[in-house]
């Protein structure tokens, strides 16, 4: 392998390492939101939305369905509302979402409508997911926008928080 090829490979690995570090930091922020939900007795799902150009979190929240008596008050829905308000636009094409659980069909549809660029999620949800499981919203011909999706980020930690929550509820 030549020197230029070596530098190119090294640069790509360094860029990937930095990207992974940023992804982990944002997922950690989402996990903190999930912990807040857990403490309030809500299903522990947390979400942050990041402006991909500035690298700043523009919305952060967690589930509030019980608190607000609102079945649509999922972390993703609330985060999209907050991010849209902060951005002054219903469309968020330069934003990335980090959420601790695979989005349900309702949230996946809202993600598509908001034109979110990328979705990073923690635990997979075989029972109620709408991205990799269930109706796979982004794969439907009626879906006008398909974000890039990366599942399994901090999957074990995200999944353990949910399992602990539901064990305590039983």
Structure tokens at 50: 């990041």
* Catalytic residue positions, numbered: 76
- CB burial of residue 169 (10 Å; 0-12, 13-18, 19+): exposed
Torsion angles phi and psi, residue 107, rounded to 5 = -70, -40
Judge contact between 54 and 87, C-beta under 8 A: no
What phi-psi label fits residue 147: left (phi over 0), alpha (psi between -120 and 50 degrees) or beta?
beta
């Amino acid at each position: 392998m030549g020197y230029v090829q070596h530098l190119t490979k090294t640069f790509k690995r360094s860029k990937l390492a930095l990207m992974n570090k940023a992804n982990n930091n944002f997922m950690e922020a989402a996990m903190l939101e999930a912990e807040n939900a857990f403490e309030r007795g809500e299903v522990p799902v947390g979400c942050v939305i990041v402006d991909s150009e500035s690298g700043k979190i523009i919305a952060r929240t967690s589930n509030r369905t019980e608190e607000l008596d609102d079945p649509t008050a999922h972390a993703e829905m609330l985060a999209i509302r907050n991010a849209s308000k902060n951005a002054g636009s219903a469309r968020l094409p330069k934003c990335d979402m980090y959420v601790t659980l695979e989005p349900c069909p309702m949230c996946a549809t809202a993600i598509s409508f908001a034109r979110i660029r990328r979705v990073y999620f923690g635990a997979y949800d075989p029972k109620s997911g709408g991205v990799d499981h269930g109706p796979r919203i982004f794969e439907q011909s009626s879906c006008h926008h398909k974000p890039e999706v990366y599942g399994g980020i901090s999957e074990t930690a995200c999944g353990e928080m949910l399992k602990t929550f539901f064990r305590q509820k039983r």
